Amino acid sequence: MEQFCEGPAVFTYNSPNPHLGGVTQGGYSESLVVDEAFALRLQNRLDPAGAAPLLCAGITTYSPLRRWNVRRGQKVGVVGLGGLGHMAIKLASAFGARVVVFTTSTSKVDDAVRLGASEVVMSRDGTAVQKHQGSFDYVLDTVSAPHDVNALLALLKRNATLVGAPGSPHAVNATSLIHGRRSLAGSLIGGIRETQRMLDFCADRGITADVEEIPIQRINEAFDRVVRGDVKYRFVIDMSSLRKSA
């Protein structure tokens, strides 16, 4: 539960460092020193490049799926197919749920199915969305751009929960929540113990993120492509390339 620390948080990049003074320097280096309480074990059978995004996109989706007990026999919605969405599909499928993906992009249908989705719905097709109304045990909304959260709440069964963290305020209609006694909840990455459990689960099931590996010299190009949404589904920097630029 370190992520919910109520004291001032120390972030990884350029954050005031109360222990050593100065600011934190991030992790782009050949080695770094870390308190053992914050070290994680990575099993050998996990490809390090594919495992890297598990520490962010992986745990950010694993934690809410586990907390709301997503399991076999359930129908689960994943909204958005980016870095978080593609991990949510893999993990919810691995937990045994039937996964339906909501996306605005027809070009992502094949990929969603390859990643484990049973069905893909075009979010902007009102009729297609309507067909699924009141049928989901759980919906994980990974879209940060503004969108209508009420249409997604309407997908939920009675007593079910939508977890999401859009960047802009939700305009939530009261009726979206009171009919069917639905909940809208947030979730924030995951703690160290749960992250270790997630890594071990992924190692057992052979789950990694889909990544594109780059040398650090291509970081600016990769940044521009992230801004354009042109990445499947995470860039990973091969840190051995750091030596070449030194």
Binding site for a second copy (CB under 8 A): 1, 4, 6, 67, 134, 158, 161, 164-188
State the nearest-atom distance from the C-beta of 140 to a second copy, in Å.
Answer: 13
CB closer to a second copy out of 103 and 176? 176
Pairing between β-strand 75-79 and β-strand 98-103 as defined by DSSP bridges: parallel
Reduced to 3 states (helix: H, G, I; strand: E, B; else coil), residue 49 is helix
Nearer to a second copy, 189 or 236 (CB): 189
CB 184, min distance to a second copy, A: 5
**Least Å from the CB of residue 182 to a second copy:** 6
Q: Which is nearer to a second copy, 144 or 196 (CB)?
A: 144
Least separation in angstroms between residue 176's CB and a second copy is: 8
Q: How far is the CB of 80 from a second copy (least distance, A)?
A: 14
Give the SS3 label for residue 67. helix
Q: How far, in whole angstroms, is CA 128 from its chain's centroid?
A: 25
Q: What distance in Å separates the CA atoms of residue 58 and residue 92, rounded to the nearest whole number?
A: 11
Cβ nearer to a second copy, comparing 198 with 207 = 198
Instruction: Round to whole Å and give the CA distance between 35 and 133.
Output: 48
Terminal-residue alpha carbon distance, the chain: 38
Nearest residue (CB) to a second copy, 108 versus 182: 182
Q: In the complex, what is the shortest distance from the CB of residue 200 to a second copy, in angstroms, rounded to a whole number?
A: 22
* E strand or H helix that includes residue 221: helix 219-227
Cα–Cα nearest to 75, from 12, 139, 14: 139
Which of 39, 185 has the CB closer to a second copy?
185
Cβ(211)–Cβ(49) below 8 Å: yes
Neighbours of 216 (CB within 10 A): 16
**Residue corresponding to tokens 């909940």:** 183
